[in-house]
Structure 1
Amino acid sequence: MTTVVLTVDCRATQFSEGGPAWPRPRHGGDILVGTAKHPWVSNIRKGVPLEVSFGGSRLTADAEVLADEESVVRLSEAIARDNKQWAKFNGMGFDADGNPNRADAYQSWQQGTVILRLTVP
């Protein structure tokens, strides 16, 4: 099992593969992580690099926490398209064409979901 480790301000937070916060494929050049706004999320600041490991060597990444409605709803939909397990965990359904339900993404934002946008060079 692959474990993703983010080291933020000397604190380590681990996500297990298949878990609700597992990073999804790149969106543009970024990796998206959808998670609840846990206390450790406050330690992530734009412009302050953090270390990330995807089961191999540690890489330096720039990170940004997106908590505004428009970003969280839009990017939650992107994550849900690629990760049905994450969508299910966050109560997001899909329409007949397989698109994530926008109202469910909005509700997820209302319940505290934030998006971490990681840029790994």
Structure 2
Amino acid sequence: MIFFDDSEDFSEKVMRAEHIGDSIAYSYRETGETFLCLMAESVYGRLANDMVFRGGEINDIIRIRDKYLMFVKSVTEISNQDVVLRDLIKYEYHADNLLDWTLDYYLSTNNKVLAGLRENNAYMDMLKKYK
């Protein structure tokens, strides 16, 4: 909803959405609740995607994509113990490991916008730290 609100400029929207993600991430770290981990992953994933396709700055995209992947990694780790989450990942992504699936997508997609990000060394370094 934030990105459809014309009362703020793009950078304000990014700051507000990132703050929401950071608040959920903090709550997850404090409680360990899987639901909060999934919510943080979702917020950061959506924000990173919005930034990529709505003209965000590359440094902001890298920062948010990094937060997203950190939570994709956490979801993957949780799924090793949580059979319901593991089954959901298998059903939705046809994969056993959500982090590997996500990285493979970013590293191999033919989508012109996403593929263009691979030309940035800092972006690639950020992705590779999760391999």
TM-score band w.r.t. shorter chain: 0.3 to 0.5
Structure with a larger share of its residues in helix: 2
Q: Which has the larger radius of gyration?
A: 2
- Taking structure 1 as the reference length, the TM-score comes to 0.34
- Taking structure 2 as the reference length, the TM-score comes to 0.32
- Higher relative CO (Cα under 8 Å, sequence separation at least 6) belongs to 1
Structure with a larger share of its residues in strand: 1
